[in-house]
Structure 1
Amino acid sequence: MELPEVCVIYLLRRDGERTEVLLGDKRTGLGIGKVVGPGGKVEHGESLRDAAVREVQEETGVVVAASALLPAGRIDYFFPTRPAWSQRSHVFTCTEWSGEPVDSEELAPHWVALEDVPYDRMWDDAARWLPDVLRGGRVDATFTFGPDLATVVDPPRS
């Protein structure tokens, strides 16, 4: 089964003694109300990096160079009771960009210290892999969500 491709980008910065990540409150579409990283659909004919650059700029106003994106892995998401939501997400981190985040129609971005990431307000899978990615690790996993469309029902598979 070929999954629609999406990308998610985690911008990281140092603020004094701590590291922060740019997250945002999702305002529209899939995941409305959740805290997410900037990202979205890869358009037909678009490279993953070009999609990531476009999505970050559209959702936060921040300009990222494709060469500054660090690939951090891939996650396949399956929603058996809502197959249209199933997707393959390509994960990137980035520590270089220009501009300051601003609100968009899609996202209300804000900086969060790594120790304060609100996993309880994110998709159920995030706490299983995001802490490692934010510390420089990688992810290669599959998650299946249950009938409630919110809870992971099987463990990740590498």
Structure 2
Amino acid sequence: MLPQVCVCYLLRTDADGITRVLLGRKKLGLGEGKYVGPGGKLEPGETAVQAIAREVLEEVGLTVDPASLEERGLLSYHFPHREAWSQESTVFVCRAWSGEPTASDELDPEWFEIGDVPLGLMWDDARFWLPGVLAGGTVRRSFTFGADLSSVVAGADGDSG
């Protein structure tokens, strides 16, 4: 079984009617320099919901309402050239929280309009599924990354929606 991780895309609709998503530029570790949603590894005995609530608080300083977490799918990531990076991620969307986003040792949070998500500055797989999830869809996909540990080489033709 692959190591279990989770990620959350926090959405807000401003007074101008524009929906924005909170992403953070990763400061260190796996994915350093890329934009990601807050998230991380599940601790022993933790559910994905418990883990994402903890990770969002640790990484961007927001307290999410667990009842408002919408599970949107499951992603499997395979890194045959660096097996330790392979993992399975539960994807959440959340529209209710308290607090204001603050930077942490992990992430510098930033709001993006849904239509302006910087997919080219994220993990390569995001372009295949994230727009659909942010539009209200679900995803269940598996991606294999190449020797450069960055480019998707298989899985780009799966289903999402």
Normalising TM by the smaller chain, what interval?
Answer: over 0.9
1:45 alignment counterpart: 45
What letter matches 2:153 in structure 1?
A: V
Please show how residues 58-137 of structure 1 align to structure 2 within 5 Å: 58-137=58-137
Return the alpha-carbon distance in structure 1 between the equivalents of residues 29 and 45 of structure 2.
23
Please show how residues 20-31 of structure 1 align to structure 2 within 5 Å: 20-31=20-31
Q: Which moved more, 1:137-146 or 1:62-71?
A: 62-71
Kindly state the Cα deviation for residue 67 of structure 1 after the two structures are TM-superposed: 1.1
What letter matches 1:114 in structure 2?
A: I
Kindly state the Cα deviation for residue 17 of structure 1 after the two structures are TM-superposed: 2.2
1:33 alignment counterpart: 33
The question of whether the paired residues in 1 share the 8 Å contact of 2:53 and 2:64 is answered with yes
Structure 1 stretches lacking a partner, 5+ long: none
What letter matches 1:21 in structure 2?
A: V
What letter matches 2:115 in structure 1?
A: E
Kindly state the Cα deviation for residue 66 of structure 1 after the two structures are TM-superposed: 1.3
The question of whether the paired residues in 1 share the 8 Å contact of 2:141 and 2:155 is answered with no
1:18 alignment counterpart: 18
Structure 2 stretches lacking a partner, 5+ long: none
The question of whether the paired residues in 1 share the 8 Å contact of 2:24 and 2:37 is answered with yes
Kindly state the Cα deviation for residue 50 of structure 1 after the two structures are TM-superposed: 0.3
Return the alpha-carbon distance in structure 2 between the equivalents of residues 3 and 155 of structure 1.
17
What letter matches 1:10 in structure 2?
A: Y
1:7 alignment counterpart: 6
The question of whether the paired residues in 1 share the 8 Å contact of 2:6 and 2:39 is answered with yes
Return the alpha-carbon distance in structure 2 between the equivalents of residues 149 and 87 of structure 1.
13
SS at 1:149 equivalent: coil
Deviations 1:37-68 (A, max 9, x none): 00000011001100000000000000002111
What letter matches 2:92 in structure 1?
A: F
% identity of equivalent residues = 55
Return the alpha-carbon distance in structure 2 between the equivalents of residues 66 and 13 of structure 1.
16
Return the alpha-carbon distance in structure 1 between the equivalents of residues 125 and 81 of structure 2.
17
SS at 1:153 equivalent: strand
2:154 alignment counterpart: 154
